[in-house]
Structure 1
Amino acid sequence: MVTAAFPYRLYLVIAAEACAGRDLLAVAEAAVRGGVDLVQLREKQVDEPTFLARAERLAERLSCYSVPLLINDNLRVARRVGAAGLHVGNHDLPPTQVRAQWPGVGLLGYSLEYTAQLHTPEAEAADYLGISPVFRTPTKTDTVTEWGLAGVRAIRAATPKPLVAIGNIHAGNAGPVLQAGADCLAVVSAICQAPDPERAAAVLRNQIDLYC
């Protein structure tokens, strides 16, 4: 279900190391042409000046398409580039602290690893919840839960907040994940490592549009 509060359907999580040796900006732009409508820059392996430089270039490129940019786990970078918001996980700055330090944050996401986290101030402070990972994936190895479709259904039944599903999601399983209750699909490899990122995004978007 796409709501006015969270109108996004296809969410790209991108990092330079995920782009199979190709230019990050070119991959992101191709993905947006294919139907991506929200982008998160997740650079865990670089220093802050490099992260900031990449974020500045990506923000400028995405502004040409009116696609929002989120920054993963770096409040300073997010504010410096005027990002649309921030996404944080369990080992990052908690959402309540993000709200305290950046009262004007536009969109704040928080990754769930346990059902019990639904009933915490951190989940309440978030605008959307990331279900991470739905299926085991080599691009995210620091999590403990593989939610599966049953997990997506359980979270959907427990909260009205928008749910973003991530973790080995591709065109072949997009439909069941949406049917289980996800509002939006986030992908890394299915687009970043595809031979044709624009086509990969378009195929995923077509699948999403069948269910939303």
Structure 2
Amino acid sequence: MRGLYLITNDDPFDVLYQKLHIALQSGPIAFIQYRRKQVMPAQQVREIETLLKLCQQYQVPLIINDNLVLARQFACGLHLGQGDGSLIDARAQLGTQAIIGRTCHDSLKLAKQAVAEGASYLAFGAVFPSFTKPNAQRVSMATLQQAKAQFELPICVIGGLTVENSQPLINLNIDLYAVVGDVLNLDMDQVAQRVKAWQALLEN
């Protein structure tokens, strides 16, 4: 559980699919998370079916955001925000091998609780302001440093991450870098180059 963690944006699905395909071809991706809040449930099912085949082709786990029913239906991983249901219940339903991440915001206390409840990784953020969640509470480098020292689980960071601003996180040996805009909000012909730039940064 290390590397670039791509989270889907709100592009038309055919555009998003092409960008994800390019990204997967361009460098190692740790996870892809399906997060499409503007899409109707029936369409979400069709999109997940299509993305799951793509992810399986590249042997990259697909994580479903906030929807235990869909995660169980497709035998995918799950990411749970603090208000998105019981991690204990999700673990019971998805099994011991499922990848289940938990949002911890800027709180070591929430992270400790997530560890006890069976999380697979701990997500902290926002590190920087982002277009996706411009008003999200921020997490400090000091808290992230404490989290790396305190917990054995992989630490994931999210929020406004770019190749240019993430070196301090590399220095902390953070495990997972959850990114939307810095890859998927770019034009199609820029995606490959950006993924390769992330790969170079993460290999330092």
Show CA shifts across 1:57-76 (max 9, x none). 10011211111111111112
In structure 2, what is the equivalent of residue 209 of structure 1?
203
In structure 1, what is the equivalent of residue 112 of structure 2?
119
**Deviation for aligned residue 1:141:** 4.5
Structure 1 position 102 matched with structure 2 position 94: yes
Show CA shifts across 1:146-194 (max 9, x none). 0132221122222121101111111112221121241121110000112
Structure 1 position 77 matched with structure 2 position 70: yes
Cα distance in 2 between the residues matched to 1:191 and 1:98: 30
Of 127, 140, 144 in structure 1, the residue corresponding to residue 133 of structure 2 is 140
- State the identity %: 26
Cα distance in 2 between the residues matched to 1:190 and 1:151: 24
SS of aligned partner of 2:203: helix
**TM score, norm. by length of structure 2:** 0.89
Alignment of 1:10-159 (within 5 A): 10-15=4-9, 17=10, 19=11, 23-35=15-27, 36-83=29-76, 85-113=77-105, 114-120=107-113, 122-124=114-116, 125-141=118-134, 143=136, 145-159=137-151
**Structure 1 residue ranges (4+ consecutive) displaced by more than 4 angstroms after TM superposition:** none
Structure 1 position 200 matched with structure 2 position 194: yes
Cα distance in 2 between the residues matched to 1:102 and 1:142: 32
Show CA shifts across 1:31-87 (max 9, x none). 11222231111122222212111111100112111111111111121222232x111
Cα distance in 1 between the residues matched to 2:48 and 2:196: 24
Q: CA RMSD in A?
A: 1.9
Kindly indicate whether the alpha-carbon contact (under 8 Å) linking 1:12 and 1:39 is maintained by their aligned counterparts in 2.
yes
Name the count of aligned residue pairs: 199
**Deviation for aligned residue 1:96:** 1.0
Cα distance in 2 between the residues matched to 1:162 and 1:185: 11
Cα distance in 1 between the residues matched to 2:33 and 2:94: 18
**TM score, norm. by length of structure 1:** 0.86
**Deviation for aligned residue 1:142:** 6.5
Change over 3 Å in CA distance of 1:45–1:141 after alignment to 2 = farther
Cα distance in 1 between the residues matched to 2:62 and 2:148: 25
Show CA shifts across 1:84-118 (max 9, x none). x1111111122111012222552110011222212
Kindly indicate whether the alpha-carbon contact (under 8 Å) linking 1:137 and 1:167 is maintained by their aligned counterparts in 2.
yes
Kindly indicate whether the alpha-carbon contact (under 8 Å) linking 2:129 and 2:135 is maintained by their aligned counterparts in 1.
no
Cα distance in 2 between the residues matched to 1:33 and 1:148: 33
Cα distance in 2 between the residues matched to 1:21 and 1:51: 10
Kindly indicate whether the alpha-carbon contact (under 8 Å) linking 2:3 and 2:30 is maintained by their aligned counterparts in 1.
yes
Kindly indicate whether the alpha-carbon contact (under 8 Å) linking 1:134 and 1:152 is maintained by their aligned counterparts in 2.
no
Q: Which amino acid aligns with 1:37?
A: A
In structure 2, what is the equivalent of residue 162 of structure 1?
154
